[in-house]
Amino acid sequence: MRFDVYTSLLLSLLLSFVAPVIVGRVAPALAARVLTSAAVVTAAATTWSLVLLVAALLGDAPPVVREAREDGHRLVDPVPEVIGVAAGVALAVVVWRVHRAVHAERCTRRALRRLCAGQPADTELIVAASDVPQAFAIPGRPGRILVTSAMLSALEPGERRVLLAHERAHLAHRHGPLVTAATLAAAANPLLAPVRSAVVFLVERWADEQAAAAVGDRRATARALARAALTAGRARSACALNFTDRAVTRRIAALQASPPPHLWSAAAAVLTLGMLPALLAADATGDLLGLLSGVLT
Amino acid sequence: MAGTGSRGRVERRSAGALESEVLATLWATDRPLTPAEIQAEIDGGLAYNTVHTILKRLFDKGLVLRDADGRRGAYRPAKNAAELTAEAMHEALDRGPDPIAALQQFVTGLSPEEERALRELLAGGGA
């Protein structure tokens, strides 16, 4: 018998390598959904595996061992003590990271809700009279779109429609909860951080494709993105951070090409990859239960 | 996701979406606009009556002001609520990197060479 926890970690790494490959080759809506599902299941499985390792350590606890010896059971120790303790530490770190991520999400939600305070109930667009070009979607019921006056005056009429359609797509397809799920998965299993980044990028691509479909013009959508990026870039140059993940450029390039296909085979492969750690964890659970019942009865 | 590149396949916009578009148009322009001017600005083939109805709804909600700057029949956006919103937004953004990251901004930062490429794209298409 063995606890196949290490394979789950390897599978997490593999999923993280696969995620950037999927981005750009599969339709963003499909890719974002399968990557998030795979990440959530994998994170749950690796966390559960840590619980199993710690539980196996408890199986070594003196009262259990004494009782087992008294009952004449031969003890098989599936997990070296060092690994059990390390798993305990890792589990504590995971709990702390998830707690921190949940807290950050709550803070953001609260801050966003505050922005909607005092707005008429059935109004979609909230304008902020600010010189900082900004635009984002505020999930909720109803969902809202916040755009600053600086962003609105920088765009041409058709480009404003692209911006609104993009943010509307975030709300209609519940991209907020999707990204939250990927964020929590990456908090529980740091190896999945690249999957989260992929999902964050993919929901933007997804909203771009929706906006392009809504205005019926991919080129106009690309130009709206370019103008918004230039406007926002000028305002932000004072920060001198110069950090960029080339996200906007990649999104514009994608709009200048034809939309990526719904590659169901790739999606199925990602989902399978995500399910494997769950199967391994289920198997390990059975092993541990067998061991413990063997010792305790 | 019907991402065809064909022009003219424009979605039927809901009343809420049209309202957003009219409000965005008013905010994007420095001077007050008449319904006819708004109709011309929004190239979506909106009927004059529709624009008028939307403006009335926005007025009832207190989001726009009528007969602005002594121009009869012209509308401009109401600033007060928007300034409060801006204050709250800056407060939220200043609080730290976490809220900003989670806000799902429309666009993120640019490197100098990316900026050059984007300018070329806009110039090339005849902005």
Q: What is the pLDDT of residues A195-253, one digit of tens each?
A: 999 999 999 999 999 999 999 999 999 999 999 888 876 655 444 333 445 788 899 99
Average pLDDT over residues A165-193: 94
Please compute the mean of the pLDDT values over residues B79-101 and round it to a whole number: 76
Distance, CA of A191 to chain centre: 12
The total of other beta-carbon atoms located within 10 Å of residue A1's CB is 10
Residue B36 Cα, gap to closest chain A Cα (Å): 15
Cβ distance A166 to B106 less than 8 Å, yes or no, reads yes
Under 8 Å between Cβ of A127 and B23: yes
Give the number of beta-carbon pairs within 8 Å between A and B: 213
Select from A291, A297, A289 the least CA-distant residue to A71. A297
- pLDDT tens, position by position, A94-152: 999 999 999 988 888 888 888 888 788 888 999 999 998 888 899 888 889 999 999 99
Rounded distance between C-alpha atoms, residue A51 and residue B118, angstroms: 50
In angstroms, the CA A136 to CA A168 distance is 10
- The answer to whether residue A271 scores a pLDDT higher than 60 is yes
Would you tell me how many other CB atoms lie within 10 Å of the CB of residue A34? 22
In 3D space, the residue among A133, A201, A157 whose CA is nearest the CA of residue B23 turns out to be A157
Q: Domains of chain B, with CATH numbers?
A: 15-77 (1.10.10.10), 80-124 (no CATH)
Helices A264-296 and A62-70, axial angle in degrees (round to 10): 60
Number of C-beta neighbours around residue A193 at 10 A = 17
Predicted ipTM of the assembly: 0.82
Residues of B in contact with A230 (CB under 8 A): 110, 115, 118-119, 122
Contacts of B110 in chain A (CB under 8 A): 229-230, 233, 244, 248-249
Chain B residues whose beta carbon lies within 8 Å of the beta carbon of residue A243: 109
Percentage of chain A exceeding pLDDT 90: 56
**Which sequence spans correspond to the domains of chain A?**
6-296
Determine phi and psi for A61, rounding to 5 degrees: -60, 145
Cα separations in angstroms, A164 against A126, A205, B24:
11, 15, 9
Residue A273: pLDDT band (50, 70, 90) is very high
Q: How far apart are CA A29 and CA B37, in angstroms?
A: 38
The Cα–Cα gap between A214 and B11 comes to 5
- Of the candidates B43, B77, B104, the beta carbon closest to that of A157 is on B43
Q: What is the DSSP letter of A192?
A: G
- Give B-chain residues touching A163 at CB under 8 angstroms: 106
Tally helices (H) and strands (E) across chain B.
6, 2
- Reported as a single tens digit per residue, the pLDDT across A42-64 is 999 999 989 988 887 776 655 55
| A11 neighbors A44 (Cβ within 8 angstroms) | no
Q: What residues are paired with A142 via a beta bridge?
A: none
pLDDT at residue B75 greater than cutoff 70: yes
Decide: A139 and A171 in contact? Cβ < 8 Å: yes
Whether residues A228 and B107 touch (CB distance < 8 A) is answered with: yes
Query: To the nearest whole angstrom, how far is the Cα of B70 from the nearest Cα of chain A?
Result: 22
Chain B residues whose beta carbon lies within 8 Å of the beta carbon of residue A137 = 104
Question: Which whole-number Å values give the CA distances from A68 to A1, A72, A292, in the listed order?
Answer: 19, 6, 10
Take residue A112 and report the two structure tokens written for it: 């966003």
C-beta atoms of B6 and A216 within 8 A: yes
Mutate to test the interface with B, among A125, A173, A204 (most CBs of B within 10 A): A125
- Mutation site, B104, B113, B115, B119, interface A, largest A CB count within 10 A: B104
Spell A82-98 as b/e; 16+ CB within 10 A means b.
ebbeebbebbeebeebb
A14-23, B9-18, B45-54, B101-110 — which one is most confidently predicted on average? Answer: A14-23
Residues with Cβ < 8 Å from A201, sequence gap 6 or more? A23, A247, A250
Please tell me if residue B49 touches chain A, with a CB cutoff of 8 Å.
Answer: no
Contact indicator for A274, A38 with CB cutoff of 8 Å: yes
**According to the model, what pLDDT value does residue A242 have?**
38
Residue A121 CA: distances (Å) to CA of A141, B57, B82? 10, 13, 15
CA distances from B95 to A117, B91, B125 (A): 19, 6, 39
Strands (E), chain A: 125-128, 135-138, 144-148
Flag whether pLDDT at A32 surpasses 90.
yes
- Residue A37 CB neighbours (<10 A): 19
Cα–Cα distance between B26 and B29 in angstroms, integer?
Answer: 5
**Spatial CB neighbours of B90, under 8 Å, sequence gap ≥ 6:** A130, A132
Distance CA A83, CA A286 (A): 19
